[in-house]
Amino acid sequence: MLNKIETKINRSRVKYAISLAKSLSPSDISAINKIWELCGFKSKKEFEENFETYNGTSFKDYIKNL
């Protein structure tokens, strides 16, 4: 049960990261590097793993394709 809730929370955090990334300028590197923290992930590694799981690509590649 807790695993399902955690999965939904992480998916929501990733969606929030996507919306933040779309609203930022690609040249705003400092904000892009802090998105994981703004979205409530405990570490950048946790963010990267969840982003790739739910979006199918790494966050770095996602930003390059914006």
**Domain harbouring 32, CATH code:** 1.10.10
pLDDT-based confidence at 62, cuts 50/70/90?
A: very high
DSSP 42: S
The 10s digit of each residue's pLDDT in 7-36 is 999 999 999 999 999 998 878 889 999 999
- What is the domain count for the chain? 1
pLDDT in the model for residue 25? 80
pLDDT tens profile 28-52: 889 999 999 999 999 999 999 999 9
Instruction: Kindly state the percentage of the chain with pLDDT values over 90.
Output: 82
Q: What is the Cα–Cα distance from 51 to 14, expressed in whole angstroms?
A: 6
Domain containing 20 equals: 2-64
Token pair in block for residue 35: 């998105």
Q: How many CB atoms lie within 10 A of CB 40?
A: 13
CA distance 49 to 23: 22
